[in-house]
Amino acid sequence: MVLYPDLPWYSTRCCQRRRPVTSPFAETSVGFAIGGEYRGYRGSSLSDLLSQTPGEVLGNGAANPDTSGRYNVYEAFGELIVPVVEDRFLAKNLTVEVGGRYSHYNTTGTSFTYKAGGTWEPVSGFKLRGNWQRATRSPNLAELFSPQTTGLDNFAVDPCQGARGALAPETNAAIAAICNAQGACRLCGSWPDRGTFGGPG
């Protein structure tokens, strides 16, 4: 480094390495990550003339028309990992972590997902982990842009969009799970909260 004593306004403070942020009870520094992302999706499916004719190919009598669509998403995310305690009695390592993600889809709007968890290692060789998170899934291209068709199925009402009684997703856990997995459920909720607890593995 070259210093210029004749220039009093010049400072070397900008070039000094600062001490990383740590907990008073740990030596490992706090870790974090922030970022943003843009993704665009586009897809299409073209069917021949026979597939577009009802009753010609598919066994349920429905036509298979052409499908085309696109959507995009903007996201911002952040994650923080904090070693709280290290090398203490019954606390070989205690670490907490949090994270969040904001997503904006031009088709389904905005969503916010998050996670919070921790790791506790009281002694070497024994570790416990816990985690709580909220997750969601936006519909894919086929679910968003496939046109409606008329077939020979037995369902008069879509179970995910208005069924009652035994097929209602509010009362039928199996139907609710299928609707959630397909991203098509407005009645049974699309914001599952999940928690885990256990050892490594």
How far is the C-alpha of 199 from the C-alpha of 201, rounded, in Å?
7
Report how many domains make up the chain: 1
Give per-residue pLDDT as tens, 140-162: 888 788 776 665 555 566 667 66
The residues with which 76 forms a beta bridge, in sequence order, are 36, 102
User: Are the beta carbons of 114 and 101 closer than 8 angstroms?
Assistant: yes
In a domain, 176, yes or no: yes
Give the residue from 176, 139, 141 showing the smallest Cα distance to 159.
176
Residues 6+ apart with CB under 8 A from 135: 113, 191, 192, 194
| Bigger pLDDT: 189 vs 66 | 66
Give the domain extent around 184. 157-192
Q: Does this model's pTM top 0.75?
A: no
In a domain, 13, yes or no: no
User: Are the beta carbons of 1 and 7 closer than 8 angstroms?
Assistant: no
In a domain, 181, yes or no: yes
In a domain, 172, yes or no: yes
In a domain, 163, yes or no: yes
Tell me which residue has tokens 């209602």.
Answer: 168
Q: Residue 11 pLDDT more than 60?
A: no
The residues with which 113 forms a beta bridge, in sequence order, are 101
Residue 59 backbone phi and psi in degrees, to 5: -70, -20
In a domain, 81, yes or no: no
CA atoms within 13 A on the CB side of 168: 7
**Both structure tokens of 155:** 């369902």
Give per-residue pLDDT as tens, 132-145: 999 888 888 887 88
In a domain, 162, yes or no: yes
Give per-residue pLDDT as tens, 45-71: 887 777 767 666 655 556 777 888 999
In a domain, 33, yes or no: no
Give per-residue pLDDT as tens, 98-114: 999 999 999 888 999 99
